[in-house]
Chain A
Amino acid sequence: MGGAEILVRARGLTKRFGDFHAVVGIDFSISRGEAFGFLGPNGAGKSSTMRMIGCVSPPTSGELTILGLNPVTDGPAIRARLGVVPQENTLDLELTVRENLLVYGRYFGLPRAVIRERSAMLLDFVQLSDRAGDQVEPLSGGMKRRLVIARSLINEPDILLLDEPTTGLDPQARHIVWDRLFRLKQRGVTLILTTHYMDEAEQLCDRLVVMDGGRIAAEGSPRALIQRYSTPEVLELRFDPGDHEQAAEKLRGLPAERLEVLADRVLIYITNGDEALAAVRGLGLEPLTSLVRRSTLEDVFLQLTGRHLDD
């Protein structure tokens, strides 16, 4: 093939809990050095998929190969080469910041001297060196998340799995995490992440799949997905709640590619937003606010599923 080495490959991958299908026959391949994302709302099946890749949840059916190995029979060997940042922090609150790395490294069977050296570097990398001797509990949410990221790197993994790395963090803390993940990506670490933030997916992912209801709705680079499933620009209009319905009705006459009438806004998908706004005014409509913006993955998701990512 000549392409990059495939590290994770899934065919018809399925996860059932009792009668409930959390993941329904999905296919994907992830290459070495890639930053690959699963974008989808709550309940889409992202964590279920990540746990199967992390070899802590056996697939119900389908094929899954990780680093050329079978997760069911070679779980320990695969996990030895993975770094995992689970959705919920699983930090050890009975240990200090540094001890969290030491003990975790021991779980991998690493010699203490190696762990000590790596911990110092990793704490520096996530800007927690000055908290090394502290208890974990009083750390802020962003610091805890960074500590989990440092912990996940202790075994110098081939693949880093990040399940919603910045959910629940304030904007500043998110940016610090993004910056660290971006550096890892620059160093060629293979990242697999899930998110329900379209900006996170756009910033970090080379390629992603849009997941909904346990299925993959679309796949591609952020740019390709936007090109394929949305228009270059979007005109967002807000009307007085009283006029909302009536205005939306009138707008249907516009030569737009697509029109989404939301509870509080109308989205007009179009190539040129400014021209569209002029056309709206030409219809005799005067919106309270108007905004011309580029299409995002949020629009892609809306187009694919008719819903919002954070619903």
Chain B
Amino acid sequence: MSSGPATLRMPLPGLLGRALAGGRGHGRGGLPLVERNARAYRHLWILLVAGTLEPLFYLLSVRIGLGALVGPVTGPGGRPVGYTEFVAPALLATSSMNGAVYDSTFSVFHKLKYAKVYDAALATPLGPGDVALGEITWALSRGLLYAVTFLLVLAALGLIHSAWLLVAVPASVLIGFAFAGVGMAATTYMRSWKDFDFVILATLPMFLFSTTFYPLSVYPRGLQIVVECTPLYQAVTLLRGFSLGVVGPAMLGSVAYLAVLGLAGVYVASRRIRRLLLK
């Protein structure tokens, strides 16, 4: 009966393996949970469509409305860029964040506290690390879907100027990983639905102020540092660089920042699930 799993073994980067801290079951990571979510979501596909459309609506409104009023702005490397080109990657970063946060907070909280999905899973060979990894993988696969759709639309609008834009796809997945990790870790500390006000409190200002609609240079230096510390700013910087073809070693910093955030999230989430459910 135990001959099957070996063939399905999913090798994980060592760092991620360590982040799961012994919380893994039979080495298939969170794939079974991803499958479970995909089945459950079949009935909720409308949410997926809505999530995919959200950044596109923003994009169109910018292109039709704001873009006509606002002239070129200073892009990465000091180069002037059209306003739509400037805002588009930030919208993608934001929807990657929103999708990942939704899946890793509201939906995880429901499964953790009410639906007992993880209680059922933990009675099988799956461990708390598999649960954390499964949910985060699911959340970031949504990020992947958003990114691909968004890029297709950008291409259709003739807004693609650089082959670097393709790198925006894995970058979006990384952004999904970072936010899903933090989101899930935070969710394990939530006591009731009221605590979810904090999720809005964290994401909405980030959306408004993380250089989504104007460059960092409009802020005084003190505020610039604060903004630079937010994960969404790092995500926007990364996607903006790739989509405008302005790529430099500084972007490695953003990659590292987001990767560490995601790994820390997986680590905390899997430890917390162990504490909450395996008493």
Q: Which residues of A contact B (CB under 8 A)?
A: 17, 54, 56-58, 75-77, 79-82, 84, 86, 88, 90-95, 99, 102-104, 106-111, 114, 155-156
Name 17 interchain pairs, CB-CB below 8 A, sorted by A: A56-B122, A76-B26, A84-B123, A86-B119, A88-B116, A90-B116, A91-B120, A92-B120, A94-B39, A94-B40, A95-B39, A103-B35, A107-B33, A107-B121, A107-B125, A109-B4, A109-B5
Among A54, A56, A109, the one with the most B-chain Cβ atoms within 10 Å of its Cβ is A109
Q: Are B125 and A56 neighbours in the complex by a CB distance under 8 Å?
A: no
Smallest CB separation, A86 vs chain B (Å): 7
Q: Which of B2, B117, B123 contacts A92 (CB 8 A)?
A: B117
Q: Are A107 and B116 neighbours in the complex by a CB distance under 8 Å?
A: no
Cβ-closest chain B residue relative to A103: B36
Is B176 an interface residue, CB under 8 A from the partner? no
Cβ-closest chain B residue relative to A15: B279
Known: A76-B25, A95-B40. A111 touches B123 (CB 8 A): no
Q: Are B277 and A80 neighbours in the complex by a CB distance under 8 Å?
A: no
Q: Are A86 and B26 neighbours in the complex by a CB distance under 8 Å?
A: no
Q: Are A81 and B4 neighbours in the complex by a CB distance under 8 Å?
A: no
Cβ-closest chain A residue relative to B2: A80
Is B32 an interface residue, CB under 8 A from the partner? yes
Q: Are A108 and B125 neighbours in the complex by a CB distance under 8 Å?
A: yes
Specify which chain A residues have a CB less than 8 angstroms from the CB of B24 in the assembled complex.
76
Known: A103-B36, A109-B8. A76 touches B119 (CB 8 A): no
Known: A92-B115, A109-B5. A56 touches B120 (CB 8 A): no
Among A17, A57, A77, A107, the one with the most B-chain Cβ atoms within 10 Å of its Cβ is A107
Smallest CB separation, A280 vs chain B (Å): 52
Known A58-B278, A104-B120, A107-B32; 6 more pairs at CB < 8 Å: A81-B1, A94-B43, A103-B36, A108-B125, A109-B32, A110-B4
Instruction: Classify the interface of chain A: helix, strand, loop or mixed.
Output: loop
Smallest CB separation, B37 vs chain A (Å): 9
A99 CA to B40 CA in the complex, in Å? 9
Interface size class of B (residues with CB under 8 A): 20 to 34
Specify which chain A residues have a CB less than 8 angstroms from the CB of B2 in the assembled complex.
77, 80
Is B28 an interface residue, CB under 8 A from the partner? yes
Q: Are B125 and A77 neighbours in the complex by a CB distance under 8 Å?
A: yes
A112 CA to B116 CA in the complex, in Å? 23
A108 CA to B32 CA in the complex, in Å? 9
Q: Are A79 and B125 neighbours in the complex by a CB distance under 8 Å?
A: yes
Smallest CB separation, A144 vs chain B (Å): 13
Is B183 an interface residue, CB under 8 A from the partner? no
A75 CA to B117 CA in the complex, in Å? 19
Is B124 an interface residue, CB under 8 A from the partner? yes
Is B239 an interface residue, CB under 8 A from the partner? no
Is B244 an interface residue, CB under 8 A from the partner? no
Specify which chain A residues have a CB less than 8 angstroms from the CB of B120 in the assembled complex.
90-92, 104, 107
Known: A103-B32, A106-B35. A86 touches B123 (CB 8 A): yes
Is B127 an interface residue, CB under 8 A from the partner? yes
A82 CA to B126 CA in the complex, in Å? 13
Q: Are A104 and B124 neighbours in the complex by a CB distance under 8 Å?
A: yes
Among A54, A84, A106, the one with the most B-chain Cβ atoms within 10 Å of its Cβ is A106
Specify which chain A residues have a CB less than 8 angstroms from the CB of B125 in the assembled complex.
76-77, 79-80, 107-109
